[in-house]
Amino acid sequence: QVKELVLDNCRSEDGKVVGLSSDFENLEFLSMININLLSVSNLPKLNKLRKLELSDNRISGGLEVLAEKTPNLTHLNLSGNKIKDINTLEPLKKLPNLHSLDLFNCEVTMLINYRESVFALLPQLTYLDGFDADEQEAPDSDPEADGDALEDEYENGEDDLDEEVIDDEEDEDDDLEGEEEEDGVDDEEEDEEEDGEEDEEDEADEDHPCGEKRKRSLEDEGEEDPEDEEDDEDD
């Protein structure tokens, strides 16, 4: 039982679907992109079909067939077709489960108040061209959305790494401060030791001159004046 069928870039016969029959009644996904399709009138009854891709064809109307043949459709992509008027979309009102419609590169998108008009015409829609009425992007409408999510995760990862780096830097700064404090203590002790050595040297220098003076005084006392010796001899 086939649930998904992709016929992209094949060629339709006279712009109509050929080869599909009730044998594919279990289809849930059908893609017929760029097959030169003009009409969907030959679609078989596909009650289980949920998603229909018809982009890059030449469809300009006849959408009432979809309400009859694919009543449970939830996603319809008609981007790149020949749809020009809002009224062409009116038959889609009969698709109660349709909540995503794509009309990229259709002339109808150039109309004034295009988005407001389509949402008013099809109140069951949640997303038009990948965005809701409040311009919020559909979660699965853009394949780049997953890439954005990965980028966010990567950035968050980078933020976490940055925080870890900052913590490491702070720890290194604390270690450096501790080392500087220890160096400061060692330097102070070294300075005190050097000051002590200098004080001892100063004391030694002070003692040495004093010792010389004492020796000279003693020598002076031991020697008598020659004039005094002569006076003693005359006596």
CA-to-CA distance for 8 and 5, rounded, in angstroms? Answer: 9
Residue count of the chain, please give it: 235
Which residues, in sequence order, are CB contacts of 7 under 8 Å at separation 6+? 30, 31, 32, 35
* Residues 47 and 73 sit within 8 Å (Cβ to Cβ): no
Domain residue ranges of the chain, discontinuous segments joined by +: 4-128
**Distances from the Cα of 83 to the Cαs of 46, 63, 86, 108, 126, in angstroms?**
24, 10, 8, 6, 20
Q: What is the side-by-side order of every strand in the sheet holding 4-6?
A: 4-6, 29-31, 51-53, 75-77, 100-102, 127-128
* pLDDT tens across the length of the chain (235 residues): 789 999 898 877 777 777 788 888 899 999 999 999 999 988 999 999 999 999 999 999 999 999 999 999 999 999 999 999 999 999 999 999 999 999 999 999 999 999 999 999 999 999 999 999 998 998 864 444 344 444 454 455 545 545 554 555 555 555 555 554 445 445 555 555 555 555 555 544 444 444 444 444 444 444 444 444 444 444 4
User: Can you tell me which residue has the tokens 């006596």?
Assistant: 235
Name the burial class of residue 56, with classes exposed (0-12), middle (13-18) and buried (19+) by CB atoms within 10 angstroms of its CB: buried
pLDDT for position 11: 77
Specify the CATH superfamily of domain 4-128: Ribonuclease Inhibitor (3.80.10.10)
Ranges of H-type helices in the chain: 64-69, 114-121, 144-222, 226-234
Specify the pTM.
0.59
